[in-house]
Amino acid sequence: MSTSRLVPAIRPGMQVKTRSIFPYPLPKGLSAGEEVTVMYVDHDMTVVRDELELEWNVPVIALDPGQYRWDKGGWVLETATSATSAARRPQDSATAAMRPLISARLAVIVA
């Protein structure tokens, strides 16, 4: 099993999710977990557009582009949903024993 991961650079046109991360608050009216489209990227700030076509100034660090993982000879985009389901698949007896603990922690993180 490989543990190689890549986090893609945030670029205009990407679909990303917002996240709440201290000390970089999201603007009032934009909540964590919303899917937005990146319109413009500066070195530490972005302009994103939500589903209502409203534009927001958001710190780059408050955006989650997902990540790529190495799987069977190629890079596969992994979202929070697929990471959660992958954590629930037992890889061996040690992982199977830890599955309830991992699921409980992921539920707290996702919520």
17-37 pLDDT per residue, tens: 999 988 889 999 999 999 999
The verdict on 15 and 69 lying in the same domain is: yes
Closest CA to 79 of 61, 67, 63, 62: 67
Which residues does 49 contact at the CB level (< 8 Å), separation at least 6? 36, 37, 39, 55, 56
The pTM score is: 0.62
Are 66 and 88 in the same domain?
no
Q: Are residues 61 and 9 in the same domain?
A: yes
Same domain, 65 and 105: no
Contact 17, 34 (CB under 8 A): yes
Whether residue 66 is found in the same domain as residue 111: no
Domain count, the chain: 2
- In the prediction, which pLDDT does 95 show? 47
CATH number for 6: 2.30.30
- Which structural domain range is residue 14 located in? 1-74
69 with 89, same domain: the answer is no
The confidence score (pLDDT) of residue 50 equals 95
